[in-house]
Amino acid sequence: MARRLRSPTLESRSARAKLKVRRKPYFVSVAPGISLGYRKNRGPGSWLVRCADGKGGAWTEGFGIADDLEDADNVHVLDFWTAQTRAREQVRGKGAAKPLTLVQALDDYERDLVLRGGLAAHVQRVRRLLTPVLLKRPVGLLTSRELRHWRDAQLSSGLAASSVTRTCKALKACLNHAAEADDTIVNKRAWTKGLAALPDSQVARTDAVLDAEMVRAVVAACYAASDRLGLLVEVLAVTGCRPIQAARLLVGDLKSDHLMLPRSAKGKGRKSVTRRPMPLPPSLIARLKAAAGDRPPTAPLLRRADGEAWQPIRSDQSRPFAQALAAAGLPKVVPYALRHSSIVRCLTAGLSPQLTADMHDTSPEMLSKHYAHYIADHSTELIRRVQLDLAPTPADKVAPLASRLP
């Protein structure tokens, strides 16, 4: 059995309680070239291992939580004696696996998404925005404070609050995936709190709702720039679908009077893409048939100028869309405004929230959350139409009988 080394400064929680809180760890040598480190935090401290690389440098890696505030179970919470054994194992590879780092968790999650047919672009975006320090951090040692600091830094860099919240949701999904696969990761509260949604960041951009004339002008501007861009934008405007749904359309999805519109495949589980019929005006059907030509049913229906399918996950439609509007002298809006406009148009025309939600591949709950005032305004008008007005009408008034003569 390996000899257990003593350290009056670190071996007991009472001794560690006397240390100053600081970012620089306290180290004690536990083997040649291997040191056990303890970082004193305001909450429970953490254990680290430092190993000399033989070239005058060293690498450091955290691997556990100290038993400062709760008794050690030697799985999630480690006392000094278990920590020094684990530090040797971290370097020599005996028994204990190395803690999963954040960059490894992102790689695992990306592979899982690809296998389930999900979009890996969200993970790639998170990886680009994370700092090198955070990427090397073990998932089990992440704190809410450092995650919140990173989240707020994205907002300070100029990203919109909604974009920051979407990025945080992707990172939380990755961390949850890691925690489900590793029982030693027990700090889920760190990202639940540290990556919480920013206030008012999940509100739909209903201020970008366009009236019918503006929608016509936007579509015309895109056709003026490019027939293929115009066709994509017309499909977005008429159906109210997301750009990713339009990009997934195949030639075989085009029928005599409707499209078999792909669902967005959002949510958990296997990302199977189902389709639902979407009626279209005859004029749009004709343009889509001309674009389809005699290409095979599995070919993309909507294509860019280079002949490739649109790639909304890379926002490749955003720049030509903005350029087309600028060339036409129209106000700046984003393609998603066409979806908001379609939803509002359906609600104010009297379609039920359930039918409107199904048409737009969302839920009545999401409509109630983001478009509540449109639903309320229209419901007020409908209620007034069916309410009885019991005020007397001219027909209800009866002339009094003349008084009898004596």
- 46: closest CA among 101, 94, 83? 83
Confidence of residue 142 (pLDDT cuts 50, 70, 90): confident
- 171: closest CA among 194, 199, 187, 155? 194
- Hey, what are 221's tokens? 């501007």
> What pLDDT digit, counting tens, does each position of 295-305 carry?
999 999 999 98
CB-CB contact of 78 with 64 (8 Å): yes
Residue 203 has pLDDT above 70, yes or no: no
Per-residue confidence (pLDDT) for residue 266, from 0 to 100: 55
Residue 342 has pLDDT above 80, yes or no: yes
CATH code of the domain made up of 207-338 = 1.10.443.10
Across the range 179-193, mean pLDDT stands at 85
- Hey, what are 316's tokens? 């490749």
- In this structure, the chain runs to a length of 406
**Most confident by average pLDDT, 128-137, 214-223, 306-315, 372-381:** 214-223
Tell me the β-bridge partners of 36: 28, 49
**CATH architecture, domain defined by 13-92:** 2-Layer Sandwich (3.30)
Domain ranges of the chain: 13-92, 102-194, 207-338
Cβ-Cβ contacts under 8 Å for 63 (sequence gap 6 or more): 47, 48, 49, 86, 87, 90, 98, 99, 138, 140, 141
State pTM to two decimals: 0.58
Residue 189 has pLDDT above 70, yes or no: yes
